[in-house]
Structure 1
Amino acid sequence: MGTRIPFIRPDGKTAEGYLSLAGKGNVPGVVVIQEWWGLQDQIKGLCDRFALLGYDALAPDLYAGTIVPYHDAEAAAREMNSLNFLEAADQLVRGAAQFLLRSSPKVAVSGFCMGGAVAILAASRAPEFSAVVPFYGLPPDTVAKPADVKVPLQGHFANTDDYITPEKVDAFEAGLKAAGKTFEIYRYDASHAFMNEQRSVHDRHCAELAWARTAAFLKTHIG
């Protein structure tokens, strides 16, 4: 449904990503941020699903073509740890938003796992976004605090998660509330990465519920 395209970063360099179009003009856009596995087909499929909802969707390739097999968590960790998260947010994610804003009135950002953290970071730093939807990902307070988030947020988290634990989610939610932010936090009786239908941790019921909530939230905040 979509295609790989080049786009220009704010610093003038060229990046690439997967673009899926809604099929009509002047529609809102969504920047979709990958898991630590790279720009997998599953993330491309999410872009296609956003397009079916009526949004132009662009997933910037944060790993510049590297895709890690799902069984190789060690390699995924190496790729993630070598990623400059601030550069990813300020250049790749923001550049993707600027590309979409050429034809979209408003743009949101959504990310999964590592991408959830990058999405919150981008929503705390880039003025292009109007909403953020992170899935089971949080940035460290040292780079982005809950009070730094500039736009309405809807977060989706798993109750059985060894990475983004319920305690971390509780602290993040408390920070958003204390800062007077507009937000919704949802917790699911599922495991980390429950949205990924290509993995054994996928939970269809929770994934469908989270997707319906995401669609309603985007409709409210970007149209």
Structure 2
Amino acid sequence: MPNVARRQVLTSLAGIPLATILANPQLARAAAAGLEEVSITTEGGRKVTAALAVPEKTPAGTIVVIHEWWGLNDQIKTVAAEYAKEGFVALAVDLYGGKVADQPDGARALMQATDSDEATDSLKSWIAWLKKHPSSTGKVGTVGFCFGGGWSLNASIAAPVDATVVYYGRVNRPAADLKNLAGPVLGHFGTEDGFIDEAMVGGFEAEMAKAGKPFENHWYVANHAFANPSSARYDEEDAALAWSRTLAFFKKNLG
């Protein structure tokens, strides 16, 4: 699909709320179709692909969007499209090599099969690519959900960026690692989450303080995956609040 046609797709969905698009598979598929598939060879010599959404006005700040344990599906591509509608260049990366799951067992298998070194190689290479992209101002942020939330933090440690957002992802990293962060971190966590819990997040907050790094943390009376409209644990009000806070955070730090 030519770039003009892609932008027309994004424009046609501009007046529809993100939650409405995400909750409707046909609308999400249409939004995903507006992204361009791009590929690079990583620093480690591997070919990887991603989906790119470019706003009408460039150059712009750029955002790496990292998928949940399901893989790079239409939902995550739609989130990237929404960031483009908000004026950012957004790149939805694929850490599963094109594989996507629609059942928990399949998602768990894909997540557990992920090679940490390869994922780091992919994310570092994409960040470097975005910094030099002609539509980019050179400023980069990362955002991820669940599995991708943890990798949003990991990526920012491996390849320092201007802003990091974590939606209910693993944040059990020590201060020695966190000292590599170049920008602030924003976290969204649910009080009913039985895994990414207050003990883990509290420990992260303490380690961030030891590292002398800024951390803006928000708790929601919600469960894991509360920002995913396709999840039974979706919380519309909290998802909207987290989204508005994320946009404000990126606009402040990426321009």
Q: Structure 1-normalised TM-score? A: 0.92
- Cα displacement string for residues 81-128 of structure 1 (whole angstroms, at most 9, x for unaligned residues): 110123212x2112222222222120101111000111101111113x
* Corresponding residue number in structure 1 for 2:197: 165
**5+ long unaligned stretches in structure 2:** 1-33
Give the deviation of 1:146 after TM superposition. Answer: 4.1
Contact 2:175/2:211 (<8 A) preserved: no
* Corresponding residue number in structure 1 for 2:156: 123
**Equivalents in 2 of 1:144, 1:160: separation in Å?**
29
* Corresponding residue number in structure 1 for 2:207: 175
* Corresponding residue number in structure 2 for 1:196: 228
Count of residues in correspondence between the two structures: 219
Are residue 219 (structure 1) and residue 254 (structure 2) matched? no
Residues 158 and 74 of structure 1: is their aligned pair in 2 closer, same or farther, counting only changes over 3 Å? same
Residues 73 and 144 of structure 1: is their aligned pair in 2 closer, same or farther, counting only changes over 3 Å? farther
- Cα displacement string for residues 164-193 of structure 1 (whole angstroms, at most 9, x for unaligned residues): 012111111121122221120111111101
Residues 145 and 208 of structure 1: is their aligned pair in 2 closer, same or farther, counting only changes over 3 Å? same
By relative contact order (CA 8 Å, sep 6+), the higher-ranking structure is 1
- Cα displacement string for residues 132-189 of structure 1 (whole angstroms, at most 9, x for unaligned residues): 1011002443798444433211111111112201211111112112222112011111
Are residue 96 (structure 1) and residue 126 (structure 2) matched? yes
Query: Which moves more between the two structures, 50-59 or 10-19?
Result: 10-19
Query: Match for 1:78 among 109, 116, 121?
Result: 109
**Equivalents in 1 of 2:119, 2:151: separation in Å?**
7
Q: CA RMSD in A?
A: 1.8
* Corresponding residue number in structure 1 for 2:240: 208
User: Between the two proteins, what is the percent identity of the paired residues?
Assistant: 35
Higher helix proportion: 2
**5+ long unaligned stretches in structure 1:** none
**Equivalents in 2 of 1:143, 1:77: separation in Å?**
29
* Corresponding residue number in structure 2 for 1:137: 169
Give the deviation of 1:24 after TM superposition. Answer: 2.4
* Corresponding residue number in structure 1 for 2:36: 3
Query: Which moves more between the two structures, 106-115 or 75-84?
Result: 75-84
Query: Which moves more between the two structures, 138-147 or 47-56?
Result: 138-147
Q: Structure 2-normalised TM-score? A: 0.81
SS at match of 2:92: strand
For residues 146-165 of structure 1, the aligned pairs below 5 Å read 146-165=178-197
**Equivalents in 2 of 1:10, 1:217: separation in Å?**
30
Larger radius of gyration: 2
